Amino acid sequence: MTIDVFPVILSGGSGTRLWPYSREAFPKQFLSFIGDQTLLQNTVARIATLDEAAAGQPIRVGKPLVICNELHRFLVAEQLREIGFESAPIVLEPLGRNTAPAMTLAALQATADGRSDPVLIVMPSDHHIQQDAEFRKRVAAAVELAANGMLVTFGIVPDRPETGYGYIRKGRPLGQNAYVLNAFVEKPDLETATGYLHSGDYLWNSGLFVMKASVWLDAIARHRPDIDAQCRLCFAEASREGDFIRVDRELFAACPSDSIDYAVMERLDEAERERTAAVLALDVGWSDLGSWSAISDLKARDADGNVTYGDVFSKDSRNCLLYAQGRFLAALGVENLVVVETTDAVLVAHKDKAQDIKVVTEYLKVAERHEHVFHRQVHRPWGNYESIDNGTRYQVKRLSLKPGATLSLQLHHHRAEHWVVVKGTARVTRGEETFLLTENESTFIPVGVRHRLENPGAIPLEIIEVQSGSYLGEDDIVRFEDRYWRAPKD
């Protein structure tokens, strides 16, 4: 009998510890650190061929379901499209409520037709796995256990006394690399972590789970009926817009926030754990890429122990991570530093402080700056824009529209816009008229006039936009028509 599998990708993180490369509006799961694909794309691709790893019962893998912050919906859709998943469902969380509500919404979606009861493979979107083939073998083994009613998680075989992770204590063996889940253990101090490592009885808690949708729904209803009830209400009242499943903000805000571990796994009594809970040991080159030090550990080093990326020159420097995104970076006679350059921010930190970068993003929030949220290049469903210059009552941007893309029909109450085409062909709607502009041609959009910009061509359209007016904020926009289902002021 074939086992139906439903991959669930949790993509709600903000990746603040990898600032300034990772930002709230474009966090680490949408970035590429190893190879050409992003972490999200690698996660989806890693599980797409799971059927080939099945050693026992055949496995049929369905389209992935991604659960993400509403702010990231177009990034998710575009990155899925790039790897061949154009109509995969995407559940939009208006605010974070941890992993238990997310998994409950996923299970409800997986069983929405009233007939299906697939095995859910729940994975964070921002982990790195070096040995994909071996990972799939372990997951296939977990799927078989889950198909028989087990609640399965993975524990990472530790290679150091890590104080930044929670641990799982192994119970009696269940088979190759599988054990009864004896207990979850909180993050230890260094002495305790060293004891865990030497005992061989403990694994790092990976945040990966495998279980049937019905098994999870039964477990969450028994152990956290408040989460179950509120998620069912949220799912029943959710709106559907294309592939997006949009959860109501007020209803979801009323849902208690809790993790899969705390909500269910740690509430299992000893008899339940012995009968239904399993942990599989995973030794496949796993990393949660939780800091710049973790990124450095995965990259090739030069003779002086430095990891470099981009346009970098280093002399008499040792054990540094030197990461240049857009400009020339030179390092002379420094040691154990993390230096990350982006177009609008530079980080310089000692490696011992790589875990403390959150204090920078907290400062930026208090100062009401934007560098913790946006890069200079801001992505939109139609393409992207980049701020070139700004001053009192003016702002200059470079807009890039993908072939066939279109901005919404909109107007602004406080600013006028001048558009100059530098590449491609633009179709412009201005008031009651529609016309084409080609390279080196321009037009003017007065304050309060309805307008739209489209790219009817086969190559990207690039526009220089000069805004002028008393207020230039992105919220000065009223939408009348939008193919991307954005709200009038979204």
pLDDT in tens, 134-191: 999 999 999 999 999 999 999 999 999 999 899 999 999 998 899 999 999 999 999 9
What rounded mean pLDDT belongs to the chain? 93
> What is the topology classification, in CATH, of domain 377-481?
Jelly Rolls (2.60.120)
Element (H, E) at 76: helix 73-82
| pLDDT, tens digit (0-9, with 9 covering 90-100), for 211-229 | 999 999 999 999 999 999 9
User: What average pLDDT does the segment 460-466 reach?
Assistant: 97
CB-based contacts of 307-316 (< 8 A; 24+ apart in sequence):
310/341
Residue-level pLDDT at 488? 65
Residue 126 contacts by C-beta under 8 Å, 6 or more apart in sequence?
A: 11, 13, 15, 27, 28, 29, 39, 40, 43, 288, 289
How far apart, in whole angstroms, are the C-alpha atoms of residue 453 and residue 402?
12
The answer to whether the bond into 460 is cis (omega within 30° of 0) is no
Amino acid at 74: F
Q: Give the C-alpha distances (Å, rounded to integers) separating 15 from 23, 25, 133, 285, 289.
A: 7, 10, 27, 20, 9
pLDDT value of residue 284: 95
333-387 pLDDT per residue, tens: 999 999 999 999 999 999 989 888 989 999 999 999 999 998 888 889 999 999 8
Mean pLDDT of all residues in 291-319: 93
Portion of the chain with pLDDT greater than 70, in percent: 99
**pTM: predicted TM-score of the whole model, two decimal places:** 0.88
Q: What confidence score (pLDDT) does residue 355 get? A: 83
CATH top-level class for 3-285? alpha beta
Domain positions in the chain? 3-285, 292-356, 377-481
- Residue closest to 33 by CA, chosen among 347, 288, 239: 288
Cα gap 410→490, rounded to integer Å: 12
Check pLDDT > 70 for residue 4.
Answer: yes
Residue with tokens 């201005």: 430
What are the residues whose beta carbons fall under 8 Å from the beta carbon of 489, sequence distance 6 or more?
475, 477, 478, 479
Q: Check if the beta carbon of residue 51 is closer than 8 Å to that of residue 27.
A: no
**414: phi then psi, degrees, rounded to nearest 5:** -125, -5
Interior angle at CA 400, CA 396 and CA 401, nearest 5: 135
Which band of pLDDT confidence, cut at 50, 70 and 90, is reported for residue 15? Answer: confident
d(CA 139, CA 145): 10
